[in-house]
Structure 1
Amino acid sequence: MAVPEAGGVAAKIASRLAGKRGTPISVESARLLPAGASRATYAATLVESSGRSEPIIIRAVPAATDDGGLHAEAQVLRAAADAGVPVPEILDAGFDEDGNVLGFPYLAMNFIEGESIPRRILRDDAHAGARARFVDQCGGILARIHRIDVAQTPGLAELADPLDGLRELFPREFESMPAGLVLATQWLTDNRPEPSPRQCLVHGDFRLGNLLVGAEGIAAVLDWELVHLGDPVEDLGWLCAKAWRFGGSSPVAGMGSRDALLDAYAREAGWRPTEAALRWWELYATVKWGLICAVQAARHLDGVERSVELAAIGRRSAEQEFDALLDLGLVTPEVVPDPLNGSSTPDPNDGVYGSPSAVQLLEAVAEFLRSDAVQAELSPQVRFHTRVAGNVVDVVRRQTLRAAQDAAASAQRLSALGIADQRALCEALWSGELDGTDEKVRAAVVADVRARLLVANPKYFAVPHP
């Protein structure tokens, strides 16, 4: 089914709201926003006969055989609003009932002003006041989310055991996770914290990027698709994960301390999670995001959604491995030179193929993708993807320069452990053939993770990790 045209969708919603309100409503503008493969998202501006303008958002599932999760999302949004959580207001909804004006599931919600781009929130002067209040607001909002009466949201999936949940959610990626994440998962298994007082509704993706931030702070909590029942500290740990600090030097979304978050949460919730539990869930979030990176890359590799961005995300699992090793105390942040900035050993094949060398050709492509002549003519979305493509070219350049020496060094390390390759290393760790606490084993894993990160993103070595 083709995605319905924005103007027609908005006109039907306008007619529906006009009937509910008893006043004529017209459509001033409507457009389809970028969204996932299964959902369509529209932005529209409606105008009442009084002249009042009303921007709205319409989320729809035109091609689904069911409601695409929108009915559960509507239940959660209404329950969250009742609990005092800032969320968009549902203006209208249609699911399977007769009289559905669109003929497929939809939610129409009010548009809320605010910034969602993390780097702007973290750096722009306009958000300085919001940054000062952010951690305190997050603690209170999460406490209110966690006390939502789950009787209002029947049918939510339950995450009874978080590690079993990772295996069930990402079976292929869990079985093939890289060695750094294997060490982290084994540590999580052996060091489980005391469970929280009760299971509750968990947002599942509470982080920068899913929060609208205005001048006064958090204006709305968005993207409830991953909501489930589980341990409330999961949300706190996800918010603190290094991946969602976007280069910030403080643990909570780059803007505050763990103690401040736990104190704010305790004031609203009436109990205070331990820092040990919070750090356990932070490491859990790192492992989970590392697996999700592999899932995203698989969408590209399997042909589900061919995308240079998804392909690039696959190599970001090296960042999550390094973060896991930081949490385990096996590495520390440091400045590491980029291989592209130093002298390089000539490729022995260059004599066969002539000049320019492979590395020099890749360099030319990267320079072209980043050139003003290219960037100036592109839409913001295409400009972003050309920057991603330039980064991918740099990854390939580094791998071309380093592959031979890194492969030889890794083979020598693994051979000393009686292991043939990376897959065998992970299998030996899982089976217990190799002890993940053994210093020689850990040193081999650390060296391989460092080699992967040096190729993928050498700047990441120096990112703070408080």
Structure 2
Amino acid sequence: MGVPEARDVATRVAERLSATRGTPVTVDSARRLPAGASRATYAATLVDSEGRPEAIIIRAVPAAQDDGGLGAEAEVLRAAADAGVPVPAILDAGLGEDSVLGFPYLTMNFIGGESIPRRILRDDTYAAARDRFVQQCGGILARVHQIDAAATPGLEELVDPVDALRALFPREFDAMPAGLLLATQWLVANPPPSSPGSGVVHGDFRLGNLLVDADGVAAVLDWELVHIGDPVEDLGWLCAKAWRFGGSTPVAGMGERAGLLDAYAEVAGWRPAEEALRWWELYATVKWGLICAFQANRHLDGIERSVELAAIGRRSAEQEFDALLDLGIVSPEVVPDPLSVETSGPDEEPHGSPSSLELLEALGGFLRSDAVTSEMSPQVKFHTRVAGNVVDVVRRQVLLGPIHAAESAQRLAALGVTDQRALCDALRSGELDGTDEKVRAAVAADVRARLVVANPKYFAVPHP
């Protein structure tokens, strides 16, 4: 089933609300918001019989064979509201044969606020919100974890976190690169201090899934990954480096771990150990690295062809480097971009001039030029910028790929393995010891090579 037009969706929902409320509701405006492949999200403004506007959000799953997970989401949202968590209110739910759209949907009230992380972290509008962000999130997460699990039956329980990664991402888990594999082995060998008990876990509590206004966190969104598990998982995910967006402090780039744990304890009545928090941060790093590979595979398999998804695959090198930072194997440093250094590329006889590097440089410059981007929508402009970054990745690999390949082969031969897959197989089997300094040095060198090509600026990103 194709994705229907926003106006048609909003009109049908307005008719449904007219019937349930007993008063006419009409559509003033409607648009589809950017969303994933499996769910569609619409924003609409309705008008009641007295001319008062009402903004709503409609979340739908056009291709669902069942309720598309929206039934569980509705239960969780209601239970979260009862627990004092700021969430949108459910106005209507069409989850079965009663759906006026012919597929599952939820209608919720619209809550104003900003969700784009870089604006939240930098715009003056959110200065006060940044000051209270850590305190607020500590309290909100404590309330999330106090949600009555009995009110949300059917949630999956995460018993063994590493086994859960294997189950969620079997293909990517089996093919994870060596840096993430070392981190995974460390996680298994060093389990975190236990929490007082399991509870409802949001599963994706981070910048991007929070609406923030001038006063602070206005709403917690995107509950698709909610489950039963260790509550510190949410705290660690919020502190993961991937969700700091360049900020220099651990909690979403806006505060310190101690402040988050103190604020959590004020509401929860117990304070998680920082050791546990850091374990879950490393876990989040590994998980996001696997998600990067998963997203790239969606593109490679033809499920959702996207330059953004393709580019995300190379971001796993950032997660490998972060994992090695946590394990004390590497340190932050400043690494010049190879493209800023005058270096000749590989011999390109007999193809002549311009070289492949020069052609790629011209292409990257064109994609970033005002002539291309000035009339674009923000969404297309974003993807064009991603395409320009992909060109730079390819330029670095053309420049350094043969050198990196030769150096890596030499390092791996000294360990008695032939390639990256054989290295990981040997680490998994115990043939190679992940705590051995020579092994760690070889893994670190390969991770450095991948990151130099993917994003050399990332070496110097703060890692508190």
SS at match of 1:75: helix
Inter-partner Cα distance in structure 2 for 1:243 and 1:4:
34
SS at match of 1:247: coil
Q: 1:346 to 1:106 in 2, by over 3 A?
A: closer
What residue number does 2:80 align with? Answer: 80
Q: CA deviation at 1:33?
A: 2.2
Q: CA deviation at 1:254?
A: 0.2
SS at match of 2:28: strand
Inter-partner Cα distance in structure 1 for 2:37 and 2:119:
27
Output the amino acid matched with 2:364. Answer: A
Q: CA deviation at 1:365?
A: 0.2
Inter-partner Cα distance in structure 2 for 1:453 and 1:275:
29
SS at match of 1:353: coil
What residue number does 1:415 align with? Answer: 413
Inter-partner Cα distance in structure 2 for 1:401 and 1:6:
47
Q: CA deviation at 1:404?
A: 1.3
Q: Establish whether residue 187 from structure 1 lines up as the match of residue 159 from structure 2.
A: no
Inter-partner Cα distance in structure 2 for 1:101 and 1:326:
52
User: Which deviates more, 413-422 or 239-248?
Assistant: 413-422
Q: 2:442 is matched with which residue: 441, 444, 460?
A: 444
Q: CA deviation at 1:229?
A: 0.5
Q: CA deviation at 1:318?
A: 0.2
Q: CA deviation at 1:193?
A: 1.3
What residue number does 1:61 align with? Answer: 61
Q: CA deviation at 1:343?
A: 1.7
Q: CA deviation at 1:65?
A: 1.1
Q: Establish whether residue 93 from structure 1 lines up as the match of residue 93 from structure 2.
A: yes
Q: Deviations over 1:125-158 (max 9, x none)?
A: 1100000000000000000000101000000111
Output the amino acid matched with 1:459. Answer: K
User: Which deviates more, 3-12 or 202-211?
Assistant: 3-12
Q: Deviations over 1:215-249 (max 9, x none)?
A: 11000000000000100000000000000000000
Q: Deviations over 1:333-370 (max 9, x none)?
A: 1110000011213321x231000001000000000000
Q: Deviations over 1:180-228 (max 9, x none)?
A: 0011001101110122111101000000000000011000000000000
Inter-partner Cα distance in structure 2 for 1:62 and 1:404:
47
What residue number does 2:49 align with? Answer: 49
Output the amino acid matched with 2:124. Answer: D
SS at match of 1:19: helix
Q: CA deviation at 1:376?
A: 0.4
- After the TM superposition, which residues 273-422 of structure 1 pair with which residues of structure 2 at under 5 Å, given as runs? 273-348=272-347, 350-422=348-420
Q: Establish whether residue 159 from structure 1 lines up as the match of residue 158 from structure 2.
A: yes
Inter-partner Cα distance in structure 2 for 1:329 and 1:388:
31
Q: CA deviation at 1:94?
A: 1.2
Inter-partner Cα distance in structure 1 for 2:5 and 2:177:
44
What residue number does 1:270 align with? Answer: 269
Q: 1:454 is matched with which residue: 439, 452, 463?
A: 452
User: Which deviates more, 36-45 or 109-118?
Assistant: 36-45
What residue number does 2:22 align with? Answer: 22
Q: CA deviation at 1:60?
A: 1.3
What residue number does 1:200 align with? Answer: 199
What residue number does 1:106 align with? Answer: 105
Output the amino acid matched with 1:232. Answer: P
Output the amino acid matched with 2:214. Answer: A
Q: CA deviation at 1:32?
A: 2.1
Q: CA deviation at 1:3?
A: 1.9
Q: CA deviation at 1:265?
A: 0.3
Q: Deviations over 1:395-439 (max 9, x none)?
A: 000001101111111111111111111111111111110111111
Give percent identity, aligned residues only: 77
Inter-partner Cα distance in structure 1 for 2:63 and 2:341:
52
Inter-partner Cα distance in structure 1 for 2:107 and 2:260:
33
Inter-partner Cα distance in structure 2 for 1:266 and 1:290:
30
SS at match of 1:351: coil
Inter-partner Cα distance in structure 1 for 2:177 and 2:62:
38
Inter-partner Cα distance in structure 2 for 1:64 and 1:376:
38
Q: CA deviation at 1:56?
A: 0.4
What residue number does 2:224 align with? Answer: 225
Inter-partner Cα distance in structure 1 for 2:221 and 2:207:
10
Inter-partner Cα distance in structure 2 for 1:63 and 1:441:
47
CA contact 2:206–2:237 (8 Å) conserved in 1: yes
SS at match of 1:297: helix
Output the amino acid matched with 2:331. Answer: T
CA contact 2:345–2:357 (8 Å) conserved in 1: no
Inter-partner Cα distance in structure 2 for 1:447 and 1:37:
37
**CA RMSD after TM alignment:** 0.9
CA contact 2:295–2:313 (8 Å) conserved in 1: yes
Write out the 4+ residue segments of structure 1 that deviate beyond 4 Å after TM superposition: none
Q: CA deviation at 1:50?
A: 1.6
Output the amino acid matched with 2:100. Answer: V
Inter-partner Cα distance in structure 2 for 1:181 and 1:280:
14
Output the amino acid matched with 1:294. Answer: A
Q: Deviations over 1:89-115 (max 9, x none)?
A: 111111114x43223211000111000
Output the amino acid matched with 2:421. Answer: R
Output the amino acid matched with 1:299. Answer: R
Q: CA deviation at 1:22?
A: 2.8
What residue number does 1:235 align with? Answer: 234
Q: Establish whether residue 432 from structure 1 lines up as the match of residue 446 from structure 2.
A: no
SS at match of 2:217: strand
Q: Deviations over 1:44-95 (max 9, x none)?
A: 1001122211110111122211110000000000000000000001111111
Q: CA deviation at 1:37?
A: 2.1
Q: CA deviation at 1:320?
A: 0.1
Provide the TM-score with structure 2 as the length reference. 0.99
Output the amino acid matched with 1:315. Answer: R
Unaligned runs of 5+ in 2: none
Q: CA deviation at 1:26?
A: 1.1
Inter-partner Cα distance in structure 2 for 1:362 and 1:54:
50
Provide the TM-score with structure 1 as the length reference. 0.98
